[in-house]
Every structure is written in C-alpha cells, then in structure tokens.
Amino acid sequence: MGGKQPDEATPAVSGKDTGARRVLRAFRPEGTRVRAGEVEVGGPGFVVMAGPCAVEGTDQVEKTAAAVAAAGAHVLRGGVFKPRTSPYAFQGMGEPGLHLLAEAGRKHGLPVISEVMDSAQIPFMAEAADILQVGARNMQNFSLLRALGKVRRPVLLKRGLSATLQEWLLAAEYILEGGNEQVMLCERGIRTFETEMRNTLDLAAVAWAKQRTHLPVIVDPSHATGHPDLILPMSLAAAAAGADGLLIEVHPRPEQALCDGNQALTPERFQSLMQRLSPVLDAVGRHLWRPDSPAQVVRAR
C-alpha cells in the first residue's frame, strides 16, 4: 500500500505497453494538433513538407522554395547538418545553410523544418527553424530527446532504421515526458532483406500509429523507397492509409545534388504529385491544408 502511486493525469496501462503513457490515444482521445507558423498538422488538413535533402547554396534553396510554394507545399524542408554513413560525404552547410533556408522560407511564406543532430545545436536551430527534425539515426539518442522535451518547438521524430513500433513510441515518450507536446511521428521506411528499394515503407505502421497514439503521423516516401518513380504511388497510398502529411525531397537539378539526388523529385514531378493528391484525400474525407482566412488563401496561390 505504501508503493508509488500512479500519476492521476496518466491513464493506466498494461505491462504490454512497456511504459508508454503520454503518447497513447487514451491520454488525448481527441488527438493532437501541431502548429508550425500558421500551418496545422493533425487536423482535417493534409500537410506537405517539401524541399532539398540538403541546403547547398542560395540559388538552389531559393529555386526549390519558389517551386514547392508555387505547387502548394505548406512547409519547406532542408537539411543543414547531414548525418552521413561515410565521413567523406557532404555533411551539410551548418549554420550558414540554416540562415539560407530560413530566409527562403520567409520569402515564400513557408515555415521551415530541418534536422537537429546534437543538443548543443538546439538553441540556434530553434531560433531559425519552425520544426526540429530528429533523424532515424538519432531516434534513440535519449539525451537529445530529453533536451527537445524542454523546447517549445514542434518536433518531427523519424522512426529508426530497425526500430520496432514500441521503440518508436517510447522515443516520442521521452519528448512528451519533458513537457513538449508538439510531437509528430514520421515513418520513413525500415531496413529489411529487400534490396530493390532503399528501405521498406511500412504503411501498416501508419494506420497502427494513428489508432494507437494521438500524435500526427507523417510519411517520408523519398527515404522509404529511394526511387523517384515510387514516390508518387507511395504518397497516394500514405494519404489513403490515414497519414497526416508527407515529407518529400525536391531538387531543381537532382542529377547535380550533393546529397540523395537519386531520390529527389524535380519541381515538375512534385507539382504533378500535388495535383494527384486531392482526389485520394477527398475519398478518405480529407483535403490539402489551407489557411482559414480568405485573404490568406488568395495570397498563397
């Protein structure tokens, strides 16, 4: 009788949940809506985040931002710190690249998302980026997750390369437990025995996460497939499976990209994808996110 009493605000869970509490649907049955600038993720509107894998320079990020904004994207993505398998691969531009990304986002009216790799980067990343991304390799970087729990910035948490669904949820639990409730999950494919694609996109995990948790779920078909030809069908499938949005790589000249150009869409192919999304979203009772104000709608076109 003298043992530790459970938190009254936390619903009871079984041992099968291995400690997950705040991420569970029972904790917030109505679901969580994440705000990045004027953009809302997790409501009826479907959100598309698009941009280059890595910021390479002023001309590249400006052209990409203009193209994705014109096509109807809602958030500008771009990596400035790049965790690469080889130490000799392009590692990103760092802080100068972050400033270029933020400037391009402001110019085209798009909030920006970029990956943070270390807790020491959080202060200046949170100043410039509207959403902080945790990459697959850092999903279980618990010191980073705890630090992000103290930040009042939305966090996009990618699933690890070989992470189970419970491990993914428990990683999110670290952030929520620290007080930051603005968390989104991102399915980006997992490593399996299959070699024809970069990873295996687990769309069942998307449906499972939407049922199991109250957090918005984003799908990254670029990393999941590694093939531009597969990004469109997998994006449509993700929308049909109940995802709240997409994270897509777009580059004005993919053949010249310094990072993952072989999985980036051209602006023209991205525009085609955006046009194809609406009928699928209509079929599942969703729509592309749009501002509530008529004045904002006119300005965004």
Q: All domains of the chain, ordered by start, with CATH? A: 42-300 (3.20.20.70)
Q: What is the pTM of this model?
A: 0.89
CA distance 194 to 198: 8
pLDDT of residue 18: 54
Question: What is the rounded average pLDDT of the residues 100-126?
Answer: 96
pLDDT of residue 294: 37
Query: Has residue 282 got a pLDDT over 60?
Result: yes
Lowest mean pLDDT of 85-99, 166-180, 219-233, 269-283, name the range: 85-99
CA distance 153 to 77: 15
E strands along 7-143, which residues?
34-36, 39-41, 45-51, 75-77, 112-115, 131-134
Q: To the nearest whole number, what is the mean pLDDT of the chain?
A: 90
pLDDT of residue 13: 43
Q: 16 pLDDT band (50/70/90 cuts)?
A: low
Query: Has residue 14 got a pLDDT over 80?
Result: no
The torsion of the CA quartet 260, 36, 46, 235, rounded to 10 degrees, works out to 10
For residue 34, the one-letter residue type is V
The residue with tokens 């096509």 is 71
